[in-house]
Amino acid sequence: MSEAQYKNQKFQNTLRAGALFISMLALMLGLGYTLLGFTGLLWAGAFGLITLGMSTRVSSQMIMRFHGGRPLHPQQAPQLSRLLQQLAQRAGLPATPKLYYVPNNSLNAFATGSKKDPAIAITHGLLSTMDLRGLSGILAHEISHIRNNDLQLKSMVKLFSRYTRFFSLFGQILLFINLPLFFMGEATVSWMAIALLLLAPTLVTLMVQAFSRSREYDADLEAARLTGDPNALADALETLDYYNKGGWLARFQSPRGIKVPTILSSHPKIKDRVKRLRELAPRFVPRFDWASWQPTRWQMI
């Protein structure tokens, strides 16, 4: 993939994420202004910044303990550690993320922390199912989240969601106060303000999900650039989708099962992500020669 094509795709992804982020910020400040005027606007902004600063101070080790993870030392998974170190160097991270093993049979991996204190967790199910090539795509994807500061951005986005739920409580109180006043012909609070307060959580939820989907596409692009092998991540995603849906047994389930609309999902559809990655594949040259890597063994875990 040429540098111009990469920058163009990166710019489009960043532009979408920035637009969503500004919309959420404007909504939050607007809610503060609706309640207390200019003073409410200032308080909403101040509380958001203070809480964000506190949330980013939580250590990655503490978060991993919460999920039941334990450190995965290089001696236990030397090839995986070597792979992670190379990907982190290519991404320009100041520190190689710490690996954590989660004794869970689900197929999952997630990143936490910051660029200075990064960590990536991998479940037992993922290690038992995925080969090293597939893991390279998954690790590159999680490293991309760390590199792009997505973890900090997601913390801020979650704060917006919490604040809007808090504001909606005032909207409900104002609604109960407004109805009797309306029927008595007295002066009432603006119905537009009440509607905004009540609908805010729903609007922010839709924005949060759109923001998350945008960051996933961006991380996929960065992962393809780090490995030079978009098909590695595409194959891994298809494997994750297959097993997490129940494998071949899922083929016999009723087609009437409830499906979550894309607009309410925090991740894009797997088929859409795979399609994008397959289309990118001809533009890249794989950066790993897997024939030179020794077979992986996880029995030591």
Q: Of 233, 238, 235, which is closest to residue 217 (Cα–Cα)?
A: 233
Phi, psi of 56 (to 5 degrees): -80, -5
What is the fold, at CATH topology level, of the domain defined by 56-147? Zincin-like (3.30.2010)
Q: What angle do CA 240, 237, 120 make, to 5 degrees?
A: 80
So what's the pLDDT on residue 62?
Answer: 78
Cα–Cα distance measured from residue 112 to residue 202, given in angstroms and rounded to the nearest whole number: 26
Distance of CA 295 to the CA centre of its chain: 31
Alpha-carbon span 20 to 280, nearest angstrom: 25
Q: Is 198 exposed, middle or buried (0-12, 13-18, 19+ CB in 10 A)?
A: middle
Extract the tokens encoding 163: 């604040």
| End-to-end C-alpha distance for the chain, whole angstroms | 37
- The reported pTM is 0.76
Tens digit of pLDDT for each residue in 208-255?
A: 777 778 788 889 999 999 999 999 999 999 999 888 775 443 333 434
Q: Where in the chain is the domain with CATH 3.30.2010.10?
A: 56-147
Per-residue pLDDT of the chain (301 residues; tens, 9 = 90+): 555 666 666 676 677 667 766 777 777 777 777 766 777 777 766 766 665 555 555 667 777 888 888 999 888 888 999 999 999 999 999 999 999 999 988 899 999 888 888 999 999 999 999 999 999 999 999 999 999 888 777 777 777 777 777 777 877 887 888 777 777 776 566 777 778 778 877 877 777 777 778 788 889 999 999 999 999 999 999 999 888 775 443 333 434 444 545 444 556 889 999 999 999 899 888 999 887 776 555 544 4
Give the total residue count for the chain: 301
Residues forming the active site? 142
d(CA 96, CA 99): 9
